[in-house]
Chain A
Amino acid sequence: MAERSFAKEVQDLRIGAGQEFRGEGILAITKALLECGVGYVGGYQGAPVSHLIDVLSDAEDILDELGVHFEANASESAAAAMLAASVNYPIRGAVTFKGPVGANVAADALANLSSGGVMGGAIVILGEDYGEGSSIMQERTHAFATKSQLWLLDPRPNLPSIVRTVQKGFELSEASNTPVILQVRIRACHVYGTFEAGDNQRPPLTVREALEDPQRRTERITLPPFTYQHEIEKVADRLPAAVRFIEEQQLNEHFGSEGEVGIILQGGMYNGVIRALQRLDLADTYGKSEIPLYVLNVTYPLVNTEVLEFCSGKRAVLVVEEGQPAYIEEAIGALLYRHQGSSTLVGKGALPMAGEYTGTVLMDGVTRFLREHGNGLLPEAHPSTNGHAEDSDDEGLSSAVPIRPPGFCTGCPERPIFAATKLVEESLGPHHIAGDIGCHLFSILPPFEIGSTTMGYGLGPASAAALSATGARRSISFIGDGGLWHNGLTSSIGNAVYNESDNVIVVVDNFYSAATGGQDVLSSRADRASKSTHHSIADAIRGLGVRWVKEVDRTYDVKRLKNLLTDALTTEEKGPKVIIASSECMLNKQRRERPQRNTAIKEGKRVVVPRFGVDEDVCTGDHACMRLSGCPSLSVKTLDDPLRDDPVASIDESCVGCGNCGEVADAAVLCPSFHRVDVVHNPGPRDRLLSRVSGFFIGALQQWRDRRRLVFEERG
């Protein structure tokens, strides 16, 4: 079960024409797909489009009713390959993944798909993970579109525009026999808004019907000599067809009146640019602009005639294009040069080359452009955003506010794995440690600071392959269950077996693809009606030929993990050493168990709820426990005691009683200030009797001692 359930929201997918749809961007895209008669959908989760997979997964009933096939693909590569169904059949298909890392993985399939071309409309819904809230390297997906020739759609970030772009995207794909990428940025995926719904359409040809009447067209297959023909088709047929369609259907939009200066912008930048113009009193609330705007809802291919027409007669044109390299600006520059255009082209320079185009950046950029080229368009007294940050820092605010990067959640089962690793390094010395993609990569940050590189999903152990020498200190690499099933089983484990690696591999198994929102994977423990789970990681790894495989089914057992890691690093046994450390993601576990527990308590059943505490008078305030934890519920607290210089440890009510504190205190021989309190809800008669008897004697002993000494108390 995913972290977030859309069971309620997906019912909105059933609404029909004339009704208003309310919800997130992701949900709107799903609804648009159904209205377009999509025949199959799939993808691989990853922010910001994880929820699209969750929505599809929760909407399986509705998809079934319409005859739409849903596949939770094993990887982006598998998802892109699935679009092959649109090569020989007039079936519309859509897959989703994040960009550019998803596109990196999918590149092989996307290139093959684009070469032969498609008959049915094929769309990749790509969540561009760029800017604030991103979890990956900062790159653009644009290059994938141009190198393999897929059309790139970048709609204005409001629900009606996005929905229309899905519809037009399928038509464009079919009109030009080319797959398209529909790019949506992080906040557009999660924007809440409304649009007027249409009726859902059954696919004219379902995959079931297609299977009954198989088709093949040899010339569509990516093999010479056809590949040479494909390339010619791309430039001679498909590109002109696409340009024609974009022009005829007016996919790109014009706003604002005539003017001597204008702005060409990516659709996704529209709201930010309008906001800048609103603040400069050059646009009203509804986007009526005094500056002419040419909005590229299709950022590849450019429609040259439209660009030239927009630029003609303009003294200066600003290109608002987020990220680098500046593909669009360069293309427009070349175009203007070739046609002896006279407009001054402004882009990077007025706007920064790197980084997200936030409201502040756009405001500054547009202001700069108009100040230089606007010829009095810019009002005299306009608000400036410059200086706010500097102004507020005259008293050292920036050095006071600590950075707060994401980290392991309260009770996370991965925390003790890295506590154990840190303890092993303390006794055996530092090792080369390779990280992977997943929540476990938070280990690179304090307090653990474990891991030197991350080279891609499922590639942790593969990235340590070169750092391998017989008899040398072994490297340790981490890989998650998500990464393992994505491709790591072959890329990392198989690679290590075949090359007789002597290194240590730790599989961090938390029962889900947790970092992307808790989607199930092959080894998940949940029972799913339409998916096959419960597949053993250990069996898979042994099946590949690993002989040294150890399993830990409770990662909180720090001591056992410490011993296993020590064994793995020192054993005489040849070949890769694999430790599978399994415990359920606490976020998902709590989400699953807490309601059940609360119900049980309400029903009067006996339930024991553990929580940890710290004895503040035993704690000396050395914070050694926190250097092995970083748990949000374990923090510091300043005591009202003049004898104390340093704050003591303290555990707040968010503690879920995972046990890490106690285990670490034991394994690292920390102070005895930790204790666990097991609160017995709805205690039985036996509980009460025992508690009363021991309470009586304990009370009596305490009283006896208190009568014989001075008792110092403070009155609160």
Chain B
Amino acid sequence: MSHSDIVKIAILAVGGQGGGVLTGWIVALAEANGWRVQSTAVAGVAQRTGATIYYLEMCPLEEQAPVFALAPAAGDVDVLIAAELMEAGRAVLRGFVTPDRTTLIASTHRIHAVSEKVVPGDGQAPEDRVFAAMERSAKRVVAADFQRMAVEAGSVISASLFGALARADVLPFPRRSFIGVVQDSGRGVEASLRAFEAALADDQPPDRAAATERVPPRGPNHLVAEWNVLEARVSELPGPVRQMAETGLRHVIDFQDLSYGKEYLDHLHRFVALDDGAFVMSATAAKYLANAMVYDDVIRVADLKTRRARFARVRGDMRLGASDVAHITEFMHPRVEEACGTLPAPLGAWIEARPRLARWLDRRINKGRKVRTSGLSWFALLYVVAGLKRWRRGTYRHRIETEHLDNWMDLALTTASHDRALAAEVLACRRLIKGYSDTRVRGESKFDAVLQALPLLKDRGDAADVLRRLREAALQDEHGHALDAELEAFASVAPASS
């Protein structure tokens, strides 16, 4: 018998995903069908949440014992099971997936690596490159979100991947034999079988996020009438701006009220009036004006936390039924800054101008508070705070935000008079301002640092490009090291501005 009668299966998983369970099932499957089988794994600390490989070899039982290898080799794998998308990519990189023979079974869900999560901007790995590599490298691809199938079935991914293996039909064992192995596994058999069957039938649950559709707002008639007026104004906007403007308008009205929405459209019109036929700058303005006008003050947090839709979402996330009992506790840490921001502007400013008083107050306010919003008393308190919305325009925070908005908008408009692309980049710098407390302070300082480069960019053909690069650098790390490096590099080549 030639060695090609040996079936070679590698499982690439993330530690903690239950790759060992899946391996055990495949061993039991082979043995139940009278095959000889060997499996290997790497246990221990190297496996904790890290990438790990399980490996199996099997062949029909003969008198003589075959010689099996203990680890997969490039170009020599028949079935590659990747329990996560990037692990499928890793399998391709390591040469374990080849067009002549490898059936690639991959779960397309993501378990993000730490390196993807700590980036202040969007550090997520590009999935399309992995999908392309899978298609290019495998003989056949069986890919689906096996994690979701398992979760929907109340089970774990080993069960749905085992179903995918049955579906792939690469092992010469009957389906009932697969099912027999799951039935004999002893724990959570019913849920495992549900996940197994779902994968076998390629029963992909509908993607909840992708299928949302926008509907007109509900509310009292006079408000709806006013909304219709504003919506009509949106529909008169140039095509490329319209959709973002409607999204932004909804966001702004949801934050405050219809007249705030009107202000938003007024601001937006100033950019539209200056724009060229492509309206890239205006579309950018539509997005970032909305984000800037919707700042995160105490009133907004209280409002969002006490909404009916939010309660429904939390219960949905936890998969709770209507009669299930659950308590929601918030983790809030107000400081004197937040308190002052909510006071009438003159009072808030008066306190902030007196550091000793502010510090004295901060000592009383600055403290982590666990707030049970599912209980009546805390709910009522947040509800009242959310109700302060009608006085929001008079708060100290609103004054600060409006000043900031006006300066930034003026800067963008001035820039637009000579360089629209650059003005769009100035608008997009708003992305840098996010987070709370220290994080926000850091974001603001990056915002300032990037925009301070603006005078140096005057009359440069690639000004917009440079500003975009600076902004992207600012989003790469927490402390702005990449931005500093980029600024330094820029300063060294920039012509002296004196």
Contacts and interface: CB of A to CB of B under 8 A. Distances in A.
A697 B383 CA distance: 12
Nearest to B43: A190
Interface in B208-257: 208-215, 217-220, 223-224, 227, 243-244, 247-248, 250-251, 253-254, 257
Interface in A368-400: 383-385, 388-389, 392-393, 395-398, 400
A152 B297 CA distance: 70
Contact of A48 (B43, B122, B133): B43
B331 A672 contact: yes
Contact of A397 (B6, B39, B130, B374): B130
Nearest to A387: B95
Interface of A: 4, 46-48, 50-51, 132-135, 157-158, 160, 186-188, 190-193, 270-272, 274-275, 278-279, 281, 283-287, 358-360, 362-363, 383-385, 388-389, 392-393, 395-398, 400-410, 439, 442, 445-447, 515-517, 559, 611, 613, 615, 617-618, 620-624, 626-627, 630, 632, 634-636, 638-643, 645-647, 653, 661-662, 665-672, 674-680, 683, 687-688, 691, 693-694, 697-699, 701-703, 705-716
Point out which of B114, B251, B290, B301 has the most chain A C-beta atoms below 10 A from its C-beta: B114
A272 B70 CA distance: 7
Contacts of B475: 646
B6 A285 contact: yes
A285 B3 contact: yes
A640 B325 contact: no
Contacts of A192: 27, 37-40
Nearest to A676: B329
B273 interface: no
B482 to A, nearest CB: 15
Contacts of A401: 86, 89-90, 93, 125, 130
Contacts of A359: 69, 71-74, 76
A665 B374 CA distance: 20
B353 interface: no
B370 A662 contact: yes
Contacts of B314: 613, 615, 675, 677
A665 to B, nearest CB: 5
A189 to B, nearest CB: 8
Interface in B303-326: 304-311, 314, 317-318, 320, 324-326
A289 to B, nearest CB: 10
Contact of B50 (A407, A446, A636, A645): A407
Contact of A669 (B114, B118, B438): B438
B151 A275 contact: no
Given A400-B89, A646-B431, A674 B331 contact: yes
Interface string B54-81: 0100010010111111111111100000
B65 A286 contact: yes
Contacts of B335: 669
A401 B440 CA distance: 30
B122 A615 contact: no
Contact of A447 (B118, B329, B373): B118
B357 interface: no
Interface in B110-132: 110-126, 129-130, 132
B145 to A, nearest CB: 13
Given A47-B45, A401-B86, 7 more contacts: A190-B40, A190-B43, A192-B37, A278-B3, A393-B93, A442-B48, A712-B253
B332 interface: yes
Interface residues of B, number: 151
B213 A679 contact: no
Given A392-B137, A397-B92, A646-B122, A666 B43 contact: no
Contacts of A640: 209-210, 212
Interface in B1-49: 1-3, 5-6, 14-16, 27, 37-49
A595 to B, nearest CB: 9
Contacts of A405: 50
Nearest to A441: B45
14 contacts: A188-B40, A395-B133, A404-B87, A406-B46, A408-B49, A632-B49, A643-B248, A672-B333, A677-B317, A693-B376, A702-B311, A707-B219, A713-B309, A715-B214
A665 B333 contact: yes
Given A271-B67, A710-B253, A50 B379 contact: no
B72 to A, nearest CB: 7
A20 to B, nearest CB: 11
A646 B304 contact: no
A671 B220 CA distance: 33
Nearest to A275: B69
B151 A706 contact: no
A403 B50 CA distance: 9
B48 A439 contact: yes
Given A284-B1, A709-B219, A272 B333 contact: no
A698 B45 CA distance: 48
Contact of A516 (B44, B65, B66): B44
A670 B442 CA distance: 13
A409 B215 CA distance: 42
B329 A702 contact: no
